[in-house]
Chain A
Amino acid sequence: EAGVVQSPRYKIIEKKQPVAFWCNPISGHNTLYWYLQNLGQGPELLIRYENEEAVDDSQLPKDRFSAERLKGVDSTLKIQPAELGDSAVYLCASSFNRGQGRTGELFFGEGSRLTVL
Chain B
Amino acid sequence: AQSVTQLGSHVSVSEGALVLLRCNYSSSVPPYLFWYVQYPNQGLQLLLKYTTGATLVKGINGFEAEFKKSETSFHLTKPSAHMSDAAEYFCAVMNYGGSQGNLIFGKGTKLSVKP
Contacts and interface: CB of A to CB of B under 8 A. Distances in A.
B107 A40 contact: yes
Give chain A's interface secondary structure class.
loop
Interface residues of A, number: 26
Contacts of B44: 43, 91, 93, 106, 108
Interface in B60-114: 90, 92, 94, 96, 99-103, 105-108
Contacts of B106: 42
B67 to A, nearest CB: 14
Contacts of B100: 48, 55-56, 100, 102
B45 interface: yes
A105 B96 CA distance: 13
Given A40-B108, A42-B105, A48-B100, 15 more contacts: A41-B108, A42-B92, A45-B103, A56-B99, A91-B44, A93-B43, A93-B44, A100-B100, A102-B94, A103-B49, A104-B32, A104-B49, A106-B103, A107-B43, A110-B41
Interface of B: 4, 9, 32, 34, 41-46, 49, 51, 90, 92, 94, 96, 99-103, 105-108
